[in-house]
């Protein structure tokens, strides 16, 4: 009996502490509200729609749009944004939703550029300067951005920001041949111009052969420009030109209100469910209420730990998983009541009730979990957010219902004052 009391007290303290930390934080630990990342529909952000400029049709157009979407996805991932949603609209348009972005133009500058990188060996009788176009000097194309395997931020010999490039095997050989050619000029040096979208961004001279497949783009640009340029190069070149047809900055006011109302609705629903459980199942209903509070806290902490983004569809997934957690408790408690009615002791009824309910709970939760996996795999953006929160909720609900609830019931049953069938909803 002492062990039962001690376990029950410790469990109640843990649940209370977790709930308090989730709501208000504790010391260096922020509350869930302050730590949770919010999606576009709650936090606001940028919505951009681009139209592809191409005469392709049918399967060719579909292939181009798929490639364009893939490149844009890589660029957005490089920006480190939370749960971007990139989708193809109609035949030749792409919609990009970027939550948390406040500067529309900055986002467009990074994701919308064509980023067609070219290396051109400038002829000996010509000269290239930054900001020249490809038509302002004479030269020979050496290689393109397709031959660049990686790009990063570096610095030149003066400590100014620069972009370091690593070329693939073919690019390294072509670049080596180009440096051999310019070193053999009459002045024993020559230029290799680097162009982005046919505009010269750097035109360094070289007086030595570069065989290693590594190069540095230098120019009169700052760290931010170098960072954006390396991001564009890593993301790859767009296979088609894009024209902006719609841009919008979505404010967070509507989303925040919707989130608050969703939280209020979930809280009210949870309280009503707990009241019903207590009225119908007595002591197990009280335990179910405590376990649901524990369940909600654990789910929030898992989402924060996984750096997940909460969207309104994600809230729907959480509410659905709460309903499944309640459903699991109802199945367990009904099985326990059936065992008590046939004359078994409370502890024997708890063991038998959980054993009989386990298969039903597993079947329902596993099938729903599989459906969530399918939604996550084939869905995008908000659909994936819904699937993630649903999967987290299902896993947590199974743990709290099957493990935590059982431990609490078995230990409370050791306490003589609670060892009464009436407290389990069964008349003596």
Q: Please state, in angstroms and rounded to a whole number, the distance separating the CA atoms of residues 190 and 203.
A: 10
Assign a CATH topology to domain 45-112+243-250: Alpha-Beta Plaits (3.30.70)
pLDDT in tens, the chain (428 residues): 455 556 556 665 666 666 666 555 655 566 556 666 676 667 677 788 888 888 888 888 888 888 788 777 766 765 555 556 788 888 888 888 777 666 666 666 666 655 677 889 999 889 998 888 888 999 999 988 778 777 788 887 778 888 887 888 888 899 899 889 988 888 888 888 888 777 887 788 888 888 888 877 776 777 877 776 776 666 666 777 788 888 776 666 555 666 677 677 777 877 888 888 888 888 888 888 888 888 888 888 887 777 777 777 777 777 777 777 788 888 888 888 888 888 888 888 888 888 888 888 888 888 889 998 998 887 766 777 788 888 888 888 888 888 888 888 888 877 777 777 787 777 75
The CATH architecture annotation of domain 117-237 reads: 2-Layer Sandwich (3.30)
Q: What are φ and ψ of residue 161, in 5° steps?
A: -60, 140
At 138 the pLDDT is: 92
Q: What are φ and ψ of residue 413, in 5° steps?
A: -65, -20
CA atoms within 13 A on the CB side of 37: 21
Q: Please state, in angstroms and rounded to a whole number, the distance separating the CA atoms of residues 255 and 405.
A: 35
Q: What is the pTM of this model?
A: 0.58
Nearest to 165 by CA among 220, 229, 113: 229
Nearest to 185 by CA among 212, 208, 216: 208
Could you tell me how far CA 4 lies from the centroid of its own chain?
42
At 15 the pLDDT is: 64
Domain parsing of the chain, residue ranges: 2-39+252-424, 45-112+243-250, 117-237
Query: Under CATH, to which class is 2-39+252-424 assigned?
Result: mainly alpha
Paired residues of 244 in beta bridges:
50
């Amino acid at each position: 009996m002492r062990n039962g009391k001690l376990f029950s007290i410790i469990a109640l303290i843990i649940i209370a502490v977790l709930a308090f930390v989730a709501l208000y934080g504790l010391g260096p630990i922020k509350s869930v509200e302050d730590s949770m990342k919010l999606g576009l529909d709650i936090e606001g952000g940028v919505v951009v729609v681009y139209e592809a400029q191409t005469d392709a049709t049918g399967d060719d157009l579909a292939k181009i749009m798929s490639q364009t979407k893939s490149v844009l996805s890589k660029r957005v991932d490089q920006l480190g944004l939370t749960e971007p949603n990139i989708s193809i609209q109609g035949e030749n348009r792409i919609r990009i939703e970027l939550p948390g972005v406040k500067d529309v133009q900055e986002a467009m500058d990074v994701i919308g550029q064509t980023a067609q990188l070219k290396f051109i060996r400038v002829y000996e009788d010509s000269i290239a300067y930054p900001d020249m176009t490809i038509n302002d000097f004479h030269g020979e194309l050496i290689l393109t951005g397709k031959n660049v395997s990686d790009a990063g931020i570096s610095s030149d010999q003066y400590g100014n920001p620069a972009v370091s490039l690593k070329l693939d095997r073919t690019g390294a050989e072509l670049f080596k041949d180009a440096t051999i050619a310019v070193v053999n000029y009459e002045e024993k040096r020559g230029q290799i111009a680097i162009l982005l979208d046919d505009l010269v961004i750097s035109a360094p001279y070289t007086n030595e052969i570069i065989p290693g497949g590594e190069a540095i783009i230098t120019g009169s640009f700052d760290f931010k420009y170098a960072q954006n340029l390396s991001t564009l190069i890593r993301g790859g070149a767009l296979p088609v030109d894009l024209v902006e047809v719609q841009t919008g900055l979505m404010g967070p006011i509507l989303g925040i209100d919707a989130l608050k109302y969703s939280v209020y609705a979930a809280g009210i629903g949870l309280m009503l469910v707990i009241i019903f459980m207590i009225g119908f199942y007595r002591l197990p209903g009280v335990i179910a209420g405590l376990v649901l509070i524990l369940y909600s806290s654990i789910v929030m902490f898992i989402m924060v730990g996984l750096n997940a983004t909460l969207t309104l569809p994600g809230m729907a997934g959480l509410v659905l998983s709460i309903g499944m957690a309640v459903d699991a408790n109802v199945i367990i408690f009904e099985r326990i009541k059936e065992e008590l009615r046939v004359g078994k002791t409370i502890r024997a009824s708890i063991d038998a009730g959980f054993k009989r309910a386990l298969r039903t709970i597993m079947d329902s939760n596993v099938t729903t979990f599989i459906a969530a996996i399918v939604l996550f795999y084939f869905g995008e953006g908000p659909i994936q957010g819904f699937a993630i929160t649903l999967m987290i909720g299902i896993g947590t609900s199974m743990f709290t219902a099957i493990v935590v609830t059982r431990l609490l019931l078995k230990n409370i049953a050791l306490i003589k004052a609670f060892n009464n069938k009436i407290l389990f909803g069964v008349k003596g």
